Amino acid sequence: MRASLAGAPGGAFVSKGKRPLPPRYPTASSTGSPEDYAVTTPSPAPRRDRDSGTTKSARVVGDYTIGRLIARGGMSSIFEVGHAEAGGRLALKVMTDLRLADDRVFDEIHAHAATIAGLRSPHVVATYDAGRLDTGEPYVVMELLAGEDLATRLRTSGPLSIAEAVRYAKHACRGLAAAHAAGVVHQDLKPSNLVIVRDRRDVPYAKIIDFAPVLPHPADPDDWLFTGSPGYAAPEQLDPRSNIDARADVWAIGATLYELVTGRRAFSATTLADAAKSVREETPPPMTDGRGVVPVALEAIVRRCLAKDREQRYANIEEVGAALAAFEAELGKAIESGPSLTVTGTRRAPRLRTLALVALGPACGIVTMMLVRYADLGSLVSSVLDAR
């Protein structure tokens, strides 16, 4: 069974049997300047037999030739694929959990993929096609990104600088805002689902990948299927009786930002049972970034995102982005005043236990006090300058 989407620039959702092809190297949408979008580096085509001209050990799904396995999770596997007519390389996600092969579930997954294909955000991976294998498993075809996900970055290089972590979290907020406006909740945001790519000016930015499939709400809680990740899922996601809304992604932004800055998870649970207990009963330890100088204002944003009662979180992802932008602006002011306060030799800058930074709340006009905890002003400046 085949069903196609036209997520390519200028495309739209189309009915079965009409199959517009993705561009040879899909890199941009129909809105925004080309410099705002990633340059996707095509991978080499599969090796061909010199005598017969056929691809060795190739599997074909519809018009796609299956290449290397990129990643495998509990419910899906992602492969690099080539397209018979369009050329270039794409990513094909096969949902391997047989419970997703149900006809009603597939209809939900296909409608979900069609909505994502219509998003026009540089911070969301482009979706081009959706269908089913002969064995029933749903698949979705997306752009293949040339970049590193933030979970890999954390493993290889440790915590990000505060400035960098905030910048990528803002990018995620923008992508999520586009998805939420279209009625889509990611439900599985985490560092491994944020990929850092580069635009045509070689400036790095974050793209969201791997939206969790939307499943029909079961009549019987025993038929509930969890589609997120323990340790990043909001409390309501771990309750089969709860309805999920966009505030689940607000929680996930908080959990992700906490990890990007500290290098450790806010909640270390790896099983559903542990996660349900942890998010209900535990409070993440205070944030430190290796220097012990995490701004109180940033920690306040993260902790509001991680409020166990979703009514106490930010009302929407735009509010999170606005709070991060206000924090970033104050951080920029500290950078600008930094050179005259730098510690040199044995001469130390004046000690300052608490620095009050005042910013006007962008969304509601409320003046917000932003407090930054640092041992002294010298360590504040050196930390911020390092973050640049």
Residues in the chain where the model's pLDDT stays below 50: 1-57, 339-388
Tokens of 34: 């080309």
Distance CA 267, CA 261 (A): 14
Catalytic residues: 188
Structural domains in the chain, CATH included, are 2-143 (3.30.200.20), 148-339 (1.10.510.10)
Q: Where are the beta strands (DSSP E) in 179-311?
A: 194-198, 204-208
pTM confidence score:
0.74
- CB distance 356 to 370 below 8 Å: yes
- Alpha-carbon dihedral 313, 316, 319, 321, rounded to 10 degrees: 110
Distance CA 295, CA 308 (A): 22
Identity of the residue numbered 174: R
Distance CA 129, CA 142 (A): 7
3-state secondary structure of 124: strand
Identity of the residue numbered 199: D
Distance CA 38, CA 61 (A): 27
Tokens of 214: 């939307």
Which residues on neighbouring strands pair with residue 205, listed in sequence order?
197
Residue 60: predicted pLDDT: 77
Residue 23: predicted pLDDT: 40
Distance CA 4, CA 331 (A): 46
Residue 240: predicted pLDDT: 79
* C-alpha distance from residue 369 to each of 221, 239, 312, 359, 372 (Å): 44, 35, 19, 7, 10
Residue 107: predicted pLDDT: 84
